[in-house]
């Protein structure tokens, strides 16, 4: 991923994805690269939030991108926006993939609680280091509880809260009604 490319949310409406798809399908490698560069960070971020391990998230991202690239010619713009098609592939992949990362170890609240009880219960000294540890533990608790959700519910939560995806777009991606996504 190049640092010179501006990251624009794929969930915004201001994209020329359909033109890039058409050009990529016609053999334009630059269009394919632009499409990948636009969506790869978002796919990675979603994958990371599902598995919470960098290497596993990179693997998931690559698996999804291979699926997208090999199926790109099947995209039909008359059936919906490219981002909906793409992120439905992402959603289906992360929902059906094998357990990885922390997800494989933490499958229910009791497993996570047993991990948390191993953390020493001492009064902090108020130092910046202790405050960082407390902050990390709080974030870890939220992540642990997220891991206890089934993948579909976790993905809906991550799309809505982590990516500010609207109920309209989220419903399209997850193939749910707006109300069910909310």
- Name the more confident of 54 and 33: 33
38 and 30 Cβ atoms separated by less than 8 Å: no
Helices and strands: H and E segment counts in the chain = 10, 0
- Name the more confident of 159 and 70: 70
> What pLDDT sits at residue 97?
85
- In what helix (H) or strand (E) does residue 43 lie, and over which residues does it extend? helix 29-51
> What pLDDT sits at residue 164?
85
> What pLDDT sits at residue 30?
96
Q: What is the mean pLDDT of residues 164-177?
A: 89
Q: What is d(CA 132, CA 178) in angstroms, rounded to the nearest whole number?
A: 38
Q: What is the mean pLDDT of residues 21-35?
A: 95
Q: Given pLDDT bands bounded at 50, 70 and 90, which one contains residue 163?
A: confident
> What pLDDT sits at residue 12?
61
Percent of the chain's residues with pLDDT above 90 = 33
> What pLDDT sits at residue 111?
60
> What pLDDT sits at residue 5?
43
Alpha carbon 148 to chain centroid, angstroms: 16
Q: Given pLDDT bands bounded at 50, 70 and 90, which one contains residue 73?
A: very high
Q: Is the pLDDT of residue 49 over 80?
A: yes
- In what helix (H) or strand (E) does residue 144 lie, and over which residues does it extend? helix 128-148
Distances (CA, A) of 177 to 87, 109, 180: 16, 29, 5
Residue 157 three-state SS: helix
> What pLDDT sits at residue 43?
93
């Amino acid at each position: 991923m190049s640092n010179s490319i501006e990251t624009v949310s794929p969930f915004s409406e201001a994209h020329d994805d359909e033109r890039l798809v058409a050009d990529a399908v016609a053999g334009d490698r630059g269009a394919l690269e632009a499409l990948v560069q636009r969506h790869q960070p978002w796919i990675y971020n979603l994958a990371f939030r599902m598995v919470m391990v960098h290497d596993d998230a990179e693997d998931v991202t690559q698996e999804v991108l291979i699926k997208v690239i090999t199926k790109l010619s099947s995209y039909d713009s008359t059936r919906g926006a490219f981002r909906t098609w793409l992120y439905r592939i992402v959603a289906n992949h992360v929902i059906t993939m094998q357990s990885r990362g922390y997800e494989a170890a933490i499958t229910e609240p009791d497993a996570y609680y047993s991990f948390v009880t191993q953390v020493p219960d001492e009064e902090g000294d108020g130092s910046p280091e202790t405050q960082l540890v407390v902050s990390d533990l709080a974030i870890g608790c939220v992540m642990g509880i997220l891991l206890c959700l089934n993948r579909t519910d976790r993905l809906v939560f991550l799309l809505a809260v982590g990516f500010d995806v609207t109920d309209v777009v989220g419903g399209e991606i997850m193939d749910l009604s707006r109300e069910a996504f909310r």
